[in-house]
Amino acid sequence: MASWFENVFEFLFKYRPLLFERGTLSFGASWVVLVASVVAVVAAVPLLLRYRDVRGKSSARDRVVLTVLRTAVLLLVLFCLFRPALVLSTVVPQRSFVGILLDDSRSMQIADVDEQPRGAFIQETFGPESSVLARALADKFMLRFFRFSESAERLNDPAGLSFAGSRTHLSRALQRSTDELSNVPLAGLVVISDGADNSNAAVSDTLLDLQARKVPVYTVGLGRERFTRDIEVTRVEAPRTVLAGSSLVVEVTISQRGFDGETVRLDVEDNGRIVNSRDVTLTAEAEATTVRIHFTAADAGARVFVFKVTPEEGEMVTQNNERHQLIHVEDERPKILYFEGEPRFELKFIRRAVSDDENLQLVCLQRTAENKFLRLDVDDPEELSSGFPKTREELFRYRGIILGSVEASYFTHDQLRMISDFVSQRGGGLLTLGGRLSFSEGGYAGTPVAEVLPIVLEPMQERSEAEELAGPAFFAGLSVKPTPFGTTHPVTQFGADTDASTARWATMPPLSTLNVVERVKPGATTLLTGSGPEVDEQPVLVFQRYGRGRSAALTINDSWQWQMHHDIPLEDMTHELFWRKLLRWLVSYVPAQVTVTTEKHRYAPGENVSVRAEVDDDRFLKVNNARVTGSVRTPSGERFDIPMEWTVDKDGEYQGNFLPSEKGIYEIDVTAAREGVELGAATGYTESQELDDEYFQAEMRAPLMQRIASETGGRFYTRETVDRLPEDMSYTEGGTTIRERRDLWDMPIVFFLLVGLVGSEWGYRKLRGLA
């Protein structure tokens, strides 16, 4: 159905706007008319000059108005005498081809208009009883049908669509159909779809190609641009790998239509068991509501967590109320090296806090005298036997480092650089603790370690030995509280929700600091701050990503008071939980020498799974000449090997592929060796399931459809306007066409203008008494 604007335009200008867009203006006047016109113009000049000098009742303004009106009339007549015409390129009937691309994905089953599925339009139009539209197209063009979802293929019978495709890949469909029709005169493509592309592929390159081939694409959008009522779990931000027993705080984004201000329930399920729930109040429609939900990944292995909003009455799509997330819960025991430069109670209480944690190994090295060290929880007699590691191989065995109160001058420059590289290159976690020999007070300003830290270290004035003996340069009591981000961070959230966490922190006894820390680095995140009688607010727990790893600074001196303090009940586990969560978080995402990942955590059966492995040596330098073997275990327990080759694009990266045929979780084991020496092994998981992506962001995406049409010279239609499609398609540069002239001198607008101008002159003269 045409818009009122188009109707008015067509009435005045004889043709629809599209024809003026497509056509070019030309004039068909003979040379006699041209000569006569020139003579008339030449003759008119002295007449005008003469008219200017005429004196009578008229004023100068009257003469100007009358001259303009009369001249306009003459020019209009002259325009008509020139025989203006619109030259159009139109197709020769049945001599050009049109590719019709029909969306066969699942989103076409959504019944969001008149309780009819979107796909019903396709069935009605191209089904056994062809519609007017189909007949009109078939009269003008040779039609070639394609079905598309993830891929595109020729379709002989449009009635054979099943609307079961698990993805919509528009650019691939356009490319595939254009390629197939490249040898025939192609008048254009018609895409009938909801435009809900979920391939994450850019269409720009395809559109450029279509422009170059001069193939206009006409898009027909099906479905609603906005659902009336719907809730969607839009995004779940969860780690792919965590340590068993770790607390997780996962960010869930919920979008809604028609549920402003309403409260819904969000559940987290671990293999069918609800592990946490919370109520979420949805914000205004234009905004997505992001909440953080806390739960524990208790059981090791590949676990599928479901984040689910209970369906509400009247929702248009309920399949988008849940998202699945595959998380590899590792049952490992990563080693953390805790180096303390002097005997401190922090070490004792941190050890106690994590001693029961089967997924953490805290190896302690405590300097108890000038050159005397106490080693605790080492694996063998050689470990740390000569103090803090002196080689990268020795240091990079650990996944995390805690630096306590130890002065920078204890380390050699190489060791300081190694600590920095431990974070940036090895991808390890570094935690620095407050103390009389930490941070600026420990002389770290200007060292490679200072670069890694998330806080700004100001150079300190040199202190004499007597001053050092007299005590620390700075001391302040601090009441610690979380920042808004800290109340929901996995390390600092205590309790089921933000309020409970904030309340818990409010009861914690004050601690102390010996370090002046005023500024955090840009990009660093502060989780805890502290303030007291001696100091204004200063950061207490800050972290930042640095290179491949992360670094954190805990500026307090005596967190053990959270365990020992008289006001803390004996059964209180805050101190233990804080340290376990902090250390687990510190080493949670630290890569091993060999890592394996897949691009996504979920694939459809038959979809290519691209496996990537990164291989480092024991100094964490990339290895390009390793022999990397991949072995895949299917859900039914069968095993097959996949070849893995160096990608060449990136150092140390190897790639392999396989096609999952079963539904379930696939285990991918990768081993790497170089010159007969094993470099390491890694295990990853991916899930093969029918994808439900089609139900997410499933509203008709008009902007994308309009863009495809406008950039290729086509037009965008809806169900209401699609009846114009056959006619519009006939005016095209593509296919077999002829040039056609359409006269314009007899446009109604010309007549109305002539009448209007002459009438205006007459009226003006009557008004001014000049008639």
Partner 1 sequence: MALQKRWKLSSAVAVVLAVGLGFVCFAATARPPVATPEPPQSTDAQQSIFTLPEALSDQARRRPIAVPNVPREFYFTRAAYTGYYRFRDFRSWSVDFPKADRQFLIGLRRLTNLDAYEAENAVPLTDPDLNKYPFLYTVEVGYMALSEAEVVGLRRYLHAGGFLVIDDFWGSFEWENFQNQLQRILPGYPIVDLPLDHPIFNCFYNVQEIVQVPNVGQGMQGGPTWESDGYYPAVKGVFDEQGRLMVVINWNTDLGDAWEWAENPYYPLKFSTYAYQMGVNFIIYAMSH
Under the rule (CB under 8 A), what is the footprint of partner 1? Answer: 341-345, 347-349, 351-352, 355-356, 364, 366-370, 372, 374, 376, 436, 470-472, 475, 477, 509-512, 514, 560-561, 563-568, 570
Give me the residues paired with residue 554 across strands: 433, 541
The helix or strand, by DSSP H or E, that contains position 18, with its residue range, turns out to be: helix 17-22
CB-wise, 204 or 368, nearer to partner 1? 368
CB of 244 to partner 1, least distance (A): 21
CB-wise, 514 or 611, nearer to partner 1? 514
CB of 591 to partner 1, least distance (A): 31
CB-wise, 241 or 366, nearer to partner 1? 366
Joined tokens for residue 86? 């619109």
> Are the C-beta atoms of 97 and 144 separated by less than 8 Å?
yes
Contacts for 655 with CB less than 8 Å, ≥ 6 apart: 610, 611, 612, 613, 644, 645, 647
CB of 575 to partner 1, least distance (A): 9
CB of 557 to partner 1, least distance (A): 8
Interatomic CA distance for residues 268 and 305, integer angstroms: 7
The label of the residue with tokens 């004499």 reads 464
What SS3 class is residue 526? strand
Measured in residues, the chain has a length of 771
* Residue 520 DSSP class: B
CB of 493 to partner 1, least distance (A): 24
Give me the residues paired with residue 684 across strands: 668
β-sheet with 639-643: strand ranges across: 602-603, 677-688, 664-674, 627-633, 639-643
CB of 618 to partner 1, least distance (A): 30
CB of 337 to partner 1, least distance (A): 15
CB-wise, 346 or 653, nearer to partner 1? 346
CB-wise, 79 or 410, nearer to partner 1? 410
CB-wise, 134 or 508, nearer to partner 1? 508
CB of 441 to partner 1, least distance (A): 12
Alpha carbon separation from 480 to 430, 527, 532 (Å, rounded) = 22, 10, 9
CB-wise, 57 or 566, nearer to partner 1? 566
Q: Judging by beta carbons within 10 Å of its beta carbon (0-12, 13-18, 19+), is residue 593 exposed, middle or buried?
A: buried
CB of 502 to partner 1, least distance (A): 21
CB-wise, 248 or 363, nearer to partner 1? 363
Joined tokens for residue 540? 């207490």
CB-wise, 341 or 684, nearer to partner 1? 341
CB-wise, 474 or 589, nearer to partner 1? 474
CB of 533 to partner 1, least distance (A): 8
| DSSP strand pairing (246-257 vs 273-281) | unpaired
CB of 297 to partner 1, least distance (A): 25
CB-wise, 20 or 475, nearer to partner 1? 475
Interatomic CA distance for residues 616 and 654, integer angstroms: 11
What SS3 class is residue 426? coil
* Helix, strand and coil percent figures for the chain, each rounded to 5: 30, 30, 40
Axis crossing angle, helix 204-213 with helix 702-712, rounded to the nearest 10:
30
CB-wise, 344 or 602, nearer to partner 1? 344
CB of 517 to partner 1, least distance (A): 17
CB of 196 to partner 1, least distance (A): 57
Interatomic CA distance for residues 398 and 422, integer angstroms: 9
Joined tokens for residue 505? 């922190």
Joined tokens for residue 294? 């806390």
User: What are the helix and strand counts (H, E) for the chain?
Assistant: 19, 36
| DSSP strand pairing (246-257 vs 230-237) | antiparallel
> Are the C-beta atoms of 701 and 197 separated by less than 8 Å?
yes
CB-wise, 46 or 533, nearer to partner 1? 533
Give me the residues paired with residue 214 across strands: none
What one-character-per-residue DSSP string does 134-174 give? HHHHHHHEEEEEEEESSSEEEES-GGG----BS---HHHHH
Radius of gyration of the chain from its Cα atoms, rounded to whole angstroms: 38
